[in-house]
Each structure stands twice: as C-alpha cells, then as structure tokens.
C-alpha cells in the first residue's frame, strides 16, 4: 500500500448508490475504501474509529441524517455530500463541504469532486491553516432558518436522538445548553439563540434570558417574589419567568 | 336569488314610475272617453294599478319556484295559468269590491265597473303574462351569471387540487434516487436496469393518467403500485417487504387512479426510510354488500423520533375520496402497537 493513499468511508443507505460510488472510485487506485455503512449510527462509529480522510455522505438516512452525524462527529474528515434532492438547502453548504453530488451524477462530475478533494487534502498537508469544513457546515445550519425536529446529543459515549417534542425545557449553562426531558437531562454545546431560532416558536418560548420552556409542558404559572413569575412544569420542575418572558407567554397562551 | 325588483332601489323606482305612467294614461283615457268625475277617475286608476303593482311583485315567486322545464313545458304552463288565475281573481275581486263600495251611490259608474270586469281580467292576464316573461328573463340571466361565477370558482379549485395532487404524487426523492439506482445498475446489472426503467416508465405513465381523474379496476391500480414498490425494493433491498392479499371479487372494483399511491409512499417514507430493520407493507381488501374496504398497513418503530410531519398525503386521499363519493366513502387511520393502518371504504358506484 502506498503511503499517500487517501482513506475513504461511504455512508449511504441504498445499496445501488453505494455500488455506484464504489464503481466510480475504481479508477482512483490511490483512494482506499475503508468501509461502507448503510445508516448514520454505524457510519458515525466507523468514522470516529477508522479516522478516514474523507467521507461520501448521504443526507437522508435512517436513525441519523448526514447533518446530524456531522454534528456529533469527533474525527473531522472532508465531506462530499451525495443527495438526491435539494430539500435541505444543500447549496448553502456547497462552499464548505468539498463538494455535493446531486444524484444521479456522471463520472465526469465525480472526477471533478475527487480533484477538489485532493486539492483540499494537499493544502491541509502543507499545513495551510483552514477552518474545518465541518465547522462551517455547522455554522451555516445555525444561521439558516431550518426547523429543528430532533436534537442529537453525545452523552457518556452514547448518541441520543431526542425528538424536540419530548423536550420539557432548556437551560443556559455558559457555552452549553442543558436539555431536560422526562428521560433525563442532556448537555449540548450550543447557544440559546440557536435553539430559540430553530425550535418551533409555537411550542417553545424564551421565558427568561437563561430558559426556554415547552409551553405544552406547563402545569401552572405562579407569582414569585415581587413582580416575577415561575412556571411549574408537569414534571415538577420550576422555571423562572422574566417580565419580558411573561409578555411573550401571554401572547402565546392567549391570556 | 333576490327579488329582481324589490332587491334594489333603482328597480323599485322604475317599477313605480311605470305603474304611475299606466295610471296617468288610464286616467286620461277615461277622462276623454267616459265622463266620470275626477274622484272616480283617480280612485279607479289608483286602486286597480296599485293593487296590480303589488300583486305583480308577487308573480316573481311562481316564476322562481316553477322552473321552466324543457322536457315538460305543459306542467310549467299549467302551473303559471293556475297561479295567474288566482292572482287575477284576487286582483279583480279586490278592485271591483273596493270601487263598488267607494262609489255605491254613482250607479252609472258601478254599472260600467261591473260590465268591464271581464275586460279588466283579460287585460290583467296579459300584463301578468308580460311580467312573468320579464321575470323569466331576469332569473335566467341571474342564473347564468351565478353559474359563470361558480364555474370560475370550481375551475380554480380543480386547478389547485390538480396542482396539489401532482406535487404530492411523486416524491422527488423517489424519482431521483430511482434514477441514481438505474445509473448504478447499468454498470453492475444492465438487465435489472432495463427492468427498472420499464417499471418506472409504466408507473410514471400511469401517474399522468391521473389528470383525467378516471377510474380503473383495482387490479390495474395495484399493478402499478407493485411497480412502484418493486422500484423501491431495488433501492432498499431486504429492508422493504410487501404482501398483497387481493380476493378475486375485488379485482374488477373501480377505484380512482393513484388513490393508493400516497398510502404506499407514506409507508415507505415514514417507516422504510427511518428503519434499519425489515419493514413489511401489507395490502388486503374485501367486499361487503357492494362496498369494498381496502387496508394498507406497515410496521413502524414508535421510538424513532420522526423527521417529518405526518398526514399530508393522507389528508389528500381523504379529500379525494370525499370529492368522489361524498359521505358514502371514508378514510381512517390508526397507529397502534407498532403497526400503522389506513383503510379506505369505497361505496358501490355505477360508471
């Protein structure tokens, strides 16, 4: 094996699509396929363990989507998206992923993507300090107005996928946000602003500088100290409400 | 439909002016040819014409509620003759009664009045006929306007519905992923690639038929749905399993084209897409007293947090069924114990 061989992992849930990428890759003997995975969970595990230089990543996959996978990845390879339909505003990520291939793609288009990948890897080797592509992809998602349906969290080595509807409330903790559900609490490196922006505003209200509450989980609202209020949630937790938070609550709950 | 005269102020004014002119004309004629006193002339003209003017307004109602039927004009004519005789009877009796009572002492006038009863009735009948014809004209015109407006509205609705259907029918994910599978198969298995292209073509051609909103035998609809599933099967392999249980008595039952497509699409989107374990999609149907009940069910993992909203495709199916069969048909769905079930009730129809 050559020392310069580039290690590749394919994460794609459809067999014919994996076949296609593998067949196209045959003409590049310096690219070595470490493995192929048909769902996000297995792909994630393999990427963290095998540490490939680049991954071919489908977006629509069971268990964990391509974007969710990138969120919790420890090892950060270069990414080439392969997707059928531009539903996820892929174009916004174009500059940051090495490339994105819209299925079905031609051999020429594939070669182009590989050339870009090699260029990117070369400049990386030369030590050109570049912000990681994945970091930019994450940033782009944070700035978009894409609605969040579930949250992926790493907790003691395990990956938890939480439906946003199961979140009772969120609490700011420095650079992190603590997410409270009936199953337990999860710490996620993210800003309150991010959650305020991406959670369904019909359901989640920023009641306090440090708190976002799921209004379907509110049991009652009680006065607290002078002119402040506190939410008593169905799970027994108490969430403070600021004066401006109370205004927003009044509008949302219509009282 | 509102009354064409009392319905708006302008018509009321015109109608009143017409009757005022008739009254004046009648008064002038009486004055020149018959030499009664002014009180008599004015009373006669006003009484008969005011009454007629009022009764004439009522003539709208028989026109409104006795629709002119081309197939049996005799019935309509008879109805109007009866209504006309009743109205004219009331008019003549009231006019003659009132005038007789007012001028009982002037025998030459009451004699004249009683002699002209038949003439008055005939003249009144003629005017009544003219009024009825005018009413018909107006009402037909109104109906035409309303129908045009309704047609315009319906056209808009149909366009929207068609657009929504076309949008919802073929999931772009399905189309592009299938094409990608074909691209892959051309290298690894050209025979299967050809089969898949043929299936995809059959399915797409069938889905275009949809615009005509026609009915096809259940067996044909399911044939194309099997094409659809076979294409998805190439993509998902062993992850997608399907079973069809079609009893012979259901095969010829007419169903709207593509009515089952959203059901299978839903099953694939919400369970196969999201699962790593095999998912079985089942179809069954049965006949009961001329009706047919068809059931599509699939396994799903209730633990998996769903990515997408549910129910849009199903709402679409429900809307189509209710458009096609009114309240006789129905769509119901439940998700219990890890099995999602949708059933459609098709009433017996005659085509």
Residues of chain B with CATH 3.30.565.10: 171-346
By C-alpha distance, the chain B residue nearest A14 is B235
**Contact predicate B113/B99, CB 8 Å:** yes
pLDDT exceeding 90 applies to what percent of chain B?
A: 26
Give the torsion sign (CA, A99, A87, A73, A203). Answer: positive
| Domain A6-140: assigned CATH number | 3.40.50.2300
Q: Mutate one of A16, A90, A101 to test the B interface: name it (highest B CB count within 10 A).
A: A16
Quickly state the pLDDT bin for B161 (edges 50, 70, 90). Answer: low
Asked if B225 is an interface residue toward chain A (Cβ–Cβ < 8 A), one would say no
Per-residue model confidence (pLDDT) at position A61: 87
Average pLDDT over residues B260-266: 90
**Contact predicate A214/A166, CB 8 Å:** no
Beta bridge mates, B215: B256
Residues of chain A with CATH 3.40.50.2300: 6-140
d(CA B116, CA B44): 12
**Contact predicate A117/A21, CB 8 Å:** no
Cβ contacts (< 8 Å) between B236 and chain A: which residues? 13-14
d(CA A41, CA A11): 10
Per-residue model confidence (pLDDT) at position B39: 82
Asked if B240 is an interface residue toward chain A (Cβ–Cβ < 8 A), one would say no
Window 277-306 of B, Cβ < 8 Å to A? 304-306
> Could you say which architecture CATH assigns to the domain B171-346?
2-Layer Sandwich (3.30)
Please state whether B337 falls in left (phi above 0), alpha (psi between -120 and 50) or beta: left
pLDDT tens for residues B165-223? Answer: 555 567 788 889 999 999 999 999 999 999 999 999 999 888 877 655 678 899 999 99
Nearest to A144 by CA among A204, A207, A91, A79: A91
Cα B318 versus chain centre, distance: 18
As a whole number, the mean pLDDT across chain B is 84
As a whole number, the mean pLDDT across chain A is 86
pLDDT tens for residues A96-148? Answer: 688 888 899 999 999 999 999 999 888 887 776 665 666 766 666 666 667 78
Which of A15, A39, A102 has the CB atom closest to B237's CB atom?
A15
Per-residue model confidence (pLDDT) at position A92: 46
What is the third-level CATH fold of A147-253?
Answer: OB fold (Dihydrolipoamide Acetyltransferase, E2P) (2.40.50)
CB contact under 8 A, A16 and B234: yes
Per-residue model confidence (pLDDT) at position B215: 85
Residue B304 has pLDDT above 50, yes or no: yes
List chain A pLDDT tens, one digit each, 255 residues: 445 789 999 999 999 999 999 999 999 999 999 999 999 999 999 999 999 999 999 988 888 888 888 888 888 899 998 988 665 555 546 556 888 888 999 999 999 999 999 998 888 877 766 656 667 666 666 666 677 888 888 888 788 888 888 999 999 998 899 999 998 899 998 889 889 988 988 889 999 999 999 999 999 888 887 778 899 999 889 999 988 888 888 888 887
The set of residues, in sequence order, having a beta carbon less than 8 Å from that of A24 and lying 6+ positions away, is A107, A110
Which of A41, A65, A84 has the CB atom closest to B176's CB atom?
A84
Cβ contacts (< 8 Å) between A162 and chain B: which residues? 305
Element (H, E) at B158: helix B117-169
Cis before A200 (ω within 30): no
Per-residue model confidence (pLDDT) at position B278: 92
Per-residue model confidence (pLDDT) at position B311: 64
By C-alpha distance, the chain A residue nearest B307 is A149
Cβ contacts (< 8 Å) between B235 and chain A: which residues? 14-17
ipTM confidence: 0.73
Bigger pLDDT: B307 or B98?
A: B98
């Amino acid at each position: 094996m050559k020392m310069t061989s580039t290690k590749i992992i394919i994460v794609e849930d459809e067999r014919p699509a994996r076949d296609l990428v593998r067949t196209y890759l045959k003409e590049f003997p310096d690219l070595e396929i470490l493995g192929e995975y048909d769902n996000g969970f297995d792909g994630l595990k393999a990427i963290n363990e095998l540490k490939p230089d680049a991954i071919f990543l489908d977006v629509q996959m069971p268990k964990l989507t391509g974007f969710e996978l990138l969120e919790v990845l420890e090892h950060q390879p270069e990414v080439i998206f392969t997707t059928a339909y531009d539903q996820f505003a892929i174009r916004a990520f174009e500059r940051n992923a090495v490339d994105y291939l819209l299925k079905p793609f031609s051999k020429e288009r594939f070669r182009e993507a590989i050339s870009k990948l090699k260029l990117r890897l070369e400049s990386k080797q030369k030590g050109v300090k570049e912000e990681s592509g994945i970091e930019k992809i994450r940033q782009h998602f944070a700035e978009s107005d894409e609605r969040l349906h579930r949250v992926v969290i790493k907790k003691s080595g395990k990956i938890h996928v939480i439906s946003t509807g199961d979140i009772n409330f969120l609490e700011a903790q420095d650079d992190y946000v603590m997410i409270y559900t009936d199953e337990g609490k999860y710490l996620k490196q993210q800003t309150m602003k991010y959650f305020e922006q991406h959670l369904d505003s019909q359901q989640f209200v920023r009641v306090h500088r440090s708190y976002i509450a799921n209004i379907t989980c509110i049991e009652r609202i009680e006065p607290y100290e002078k002119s402040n209020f506190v939410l008593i949630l169905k799970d027994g937790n108490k969430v403070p409400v600021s004066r401006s938070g109370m205004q927003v609550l009044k509008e949302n709950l219509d009282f | 439909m509102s009354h064409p005269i009392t319905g708006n102020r302008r018509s009321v004014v015109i109608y009143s002016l017409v009757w005022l002119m008739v009254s004046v004309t009648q008064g002038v004629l009486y004055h020149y040819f018959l030499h009664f006193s002014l009180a008599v002339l004015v009373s006669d003209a006003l009484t008969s014409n005011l009454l007629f003017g009022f009764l004439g307004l009522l003539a709208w109602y028989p026109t409104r509620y006795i629709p002119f039927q081309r197939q049996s004009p005799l019935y309509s004519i008879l109805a109007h003759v009866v209504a006309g005789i009743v109205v004219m009877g009331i008019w003549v009796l009231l006019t003659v009664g009132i005038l007789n009572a007012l001028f009982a002492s002037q025998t030459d006038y009451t004699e004249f009045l009683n002699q002209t009863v038949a003439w008055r009735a005939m003249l009144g009948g003629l005017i009544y006929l003219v009024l009825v014809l005018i009413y018909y004209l107006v009402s037909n015109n109104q109906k035409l306007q309303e129908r045009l407006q309704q047609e315009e509205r319906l056209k808009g609705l149909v366009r929207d519905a068609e657009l929504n259907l076309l949008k919802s029918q073929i999931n772009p994910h399905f189309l592009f992923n299938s094409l990608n599978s074909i691209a892959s198969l051309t290298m690894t298995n050209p025979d299967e690639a050809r089969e898949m292209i043929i299936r995809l073509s059959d399915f797409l051609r069938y889905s275009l038929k949809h615009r005509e909103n026609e009915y096809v035998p259940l067996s044909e609809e399911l044939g194309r749905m099997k094409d659809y599933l076979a294409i998805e099967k190439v993509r998902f392999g062993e992850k997608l399993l399907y079973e069809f249980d079609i009893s012979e008595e259901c095969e010829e039952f007419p169903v709207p084209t593509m009515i089952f497509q959203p059901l299978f699409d839903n099953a694939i989107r919400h369970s196969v897409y999201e699962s790593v374990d095999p998912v079985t999609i089942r179809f069954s149907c049965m006949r009961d007293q001329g009706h047919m009940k068809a059931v599509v069910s699939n396994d799903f993992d209730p633990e998996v947090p769903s990515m997408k909203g549910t129910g849009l495709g199903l709402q679409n199916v429900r809307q189509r069924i209710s458009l096609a069969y009114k309240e006789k048909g129905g769509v119901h769905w439940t998700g219990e114990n890890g099995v999602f079930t949708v059933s459609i009730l098709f009433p017996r129809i005659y085509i």
